[in-house]
Structure 1
Amino acid sequence: MSLADEIFIRMCRDILENGTSTEGEKVRPHWEDGSKAYTIKKFGVVNRYDLSKEFPIMTLRRTALKSATDEMLWIWQRKSNNIKDLNSHIWDEWADKDGSIGKAYGYQMGVKHRYKEGMMDQVDRVIYDLKNNPFSRRIMTNIYVHQDLHEMNLYPCAYSMTFNVTQKKGADRLTLNAVLNQRSQDVLTANNWNVVQYAVLVHMLAQICGMEAGELVHVIADAHIYDRHVPLIKELIERTHYPAPAFYLNPEVKDFYRFTRDDVRVENYVTGEQIKDIPVAI
């Protein structure tokens, strides 16, 4: 069993067996038919993935690596808040007639801030520090900007990354680790999608900075399974699972802004069938 499958199964069973139901509470999300979308939730879920051992993509069902990477690059590389710059239709529900999702996600990553070294946005600041001050305990991003929340069509779910570099005894290269903080997560639709995205990001940043990818720690404040997803989750976690595939990142790319979705792939990726027509709460 891949580690990603093991962690996912354990998390889902814990939520289903020990979680708290929001049924009857005043909840914001609703289904397309207008009915309230209730959940079973767990507070403070923490999952750890050692990227030096395997790439954390689940095999219970297929996670679309290139689409997940494209969305991550849309935010972190293109720093866009317009769905016209994205190859998928994930964000269509939250876009206005011009394609904008407001001052959210990529918009915040592209805002320049003044540092003693000059004006930089958050992505460039991370890369600068990883290259010039790798042992700093201040290498982080935050896109949950309160002054702009009223102009965001969706409040950020995955809102902060904290990077930490270690020197393993006897290793020639430094190791890049990261913590992904997420305020809320729809476990069925988004859990492995987000894990894969930020695992790719850590691999990319490690490569351009001459480091090895280390641990990705995923902290979820509210990890939930929607009521209409419960039977889907129960079926999913009982499926046959397979070994983790091998991850490939184009070694020729040394500039973060040169990466494309085609620079990543997984080899020997065997999975269960995809779950189609998953209802999405909005």
Structure 2
Amino acid sequence: MTVQYLHLAEKILKEGNDRGDRTGTGTRSIFGHQMRFDMADGFPLLTTKRVAFRLVVSELLWFIKGDTNIRYLLEHNNHIWDEWAFANYVQSDAYTGPDMTNFGLRSQEDESFNEVYQSQMRQFTDRILADEQFAAEFGDLGNVYGAQWRAWQSRQGEVIDQLKAVIEQIKHNPQSRRLIVTAWNPEDVPTAALPPCHVLFQFYVEEDKLSLQLYQRSGDLFLGVPFNIASYALLLHLVARETGLKAGEFIHSFGDVHIYQNHFDQIETQLSREVKPLPRLWLNPEKTSIFDFEVDDIRVEGYEPHALIKAPVAV
């Protein structure tokens, strides 16, 4: 797994196009790439830097529960969606604190501003946890993944639970070519905090093995993609558990896959590190339904990666 990831990093650095982007940070990107990971080789968790697997788990369970409010994530000490909710808050009339315009870039470039920003962010997340009404108003991210997977709104006003429906199809019609869940709803794109990056996934059953392919329109190679790989590999294992199948391959297909220009040094550090063995996934044997799993029911064993590498998030 790690070798394929590093080859992609080298390809982007050497052959990629330098482009502007929504955040103003700048990227180097390529268009169109695919990686394949056989679950028999181990769980695909990057080893050239530590990936916080419990954050992967709590985020995926957040999606599976159909939740779109960061309060659940904060309760599990998961802060990976904080910036998106905070951006909505500071742009609202309710916010009366210091100017937070372009806080993502400014916090990287101005140390004094970063201290103010971090203070405001702590106040915001603390209030999300403590104040249910405030959380309802400013912690919700709109129709992001959880809503689209579990409560897609049809034109007829019906609610479609795509995830539950596809699991039933795998159980009863495994050779179907329609084993698909989509998160890309054009109607909701303008109002979502972040339009879905991993937009569509499809299952495939062959004999006793279940495989999953993801199409990702936009992939942040350093920060996002290691999480995405682990998240969808975990989703594959959980659905395989419920449907009585073995986890086969995770196939990861990209549109625009890129490295932010302020992540080049971090990527180079990874390229200089030795690849280590992949860990193994442990799932609580007492749980069978994907909808019953909690964070403590899932862990990796034998994960001994290189040290964490920090990098700023582009918002």
Q: TM-score, normalised by structure 2?
A: 0.79
> What is aligned with 1:201?
235
Q: Contact conserved, 1:135 with 1:165, CA < 8 A, in 2? A: yes
CA contact 2:45–2:230 (8 Å) conserved in 1: yes
- 2:168 maps to 1:134: no
Match of 2:52 in 1: 64
The CA distance in 2 between the partners of 1:119 and 1:104, in whole Å, is: 15
The question of whether the paired residues in 2 share the 8 Å contact of 1:62 and 1:272 is answered with yes
Secondary structure of the equivalent of 1:203? helix
> Could you list the runs of 5+ residues in structure 2 that have no partner in the other structure?
90-137
State the partner residue of 2:106. none
Q: Any conservation in 1 of the 2:151–2:159 contact (CA below 8 Å)? A: no
Aligned to 1:55: 43
When residues 113 and 129 of structure 1 are mapped into structure 2, their CA distance, relative to the original with a 3 A threshold, is: farther
Written as runs of structure 1 = structure 2, the 5 A alignment for 1:107-186 is 107-111=147-151, 120-167=160-207, 174-186=208-220
Residue number among 90, 94, 112 corresponding to 2:84 in the alignment: 94
Match of 2:22 among 16, 19, 28: 28
Q: Give 2:68's aligned residue.
A: 81
Please state whether the residue corresponding to 1:154 is helix, strand or coil: coil
Gaps of 5+ in 1: 30-35, 168-173
Partner of 2:193: helix, strand, or coil?
coil
Q: What is the Cα deviation at residue 111 of structure 1? A: 1.7
How far residue 110 of structure 1 moved from its aligned partner, in angstroms, is 2.3
Partner of 1:182, secondary structure, is strand
Percent of paired sites with the same residue: 35
Indicate the structure (1 or 2) with the bigger Cα radius of gyration: 2
> What is the distance in 2 between the residues matched to 1:93 and 1:119?
29
What is the Cα deviation at residue 127 of structure 1?
Answer: 1.1
**RMSD of aligned Cα (Å):** 1.6
1:1-20 alignment to 2 at 5 Å? 4-20=1-17
Q: In proportion to residue count, which structure has more helix?
A: 2
Count of equivalent residues: 259
Question: Post-superposition shift, 1:84?
Answer: 0.7
Q: Check conservation: 2:34, 2:253, Cα contact below 8 A.
A: yes
Structure 1 moving runs of 4+ over 6 Å: none
Partner-residue secondary structure (3-state), 1:107 = helix
Q: Distance in 2 between matches of 1:192 and 1:201?
A: 14
Q: 1:33 maps to which residue?
A: none
> Which whole-Å CA distance do the structure 1 matches of 2:244 and 2:269 have between them?
42
- Residue 171 of structure 1 corresponds to which residue in structure 2? none
Contact 2:17 2:30 in 1 (8 A): yes
Q: CA deviation at 1:120?
A: 4.5
CA distance in 2 between partners of 1:73 and 1:166 (Å): 26
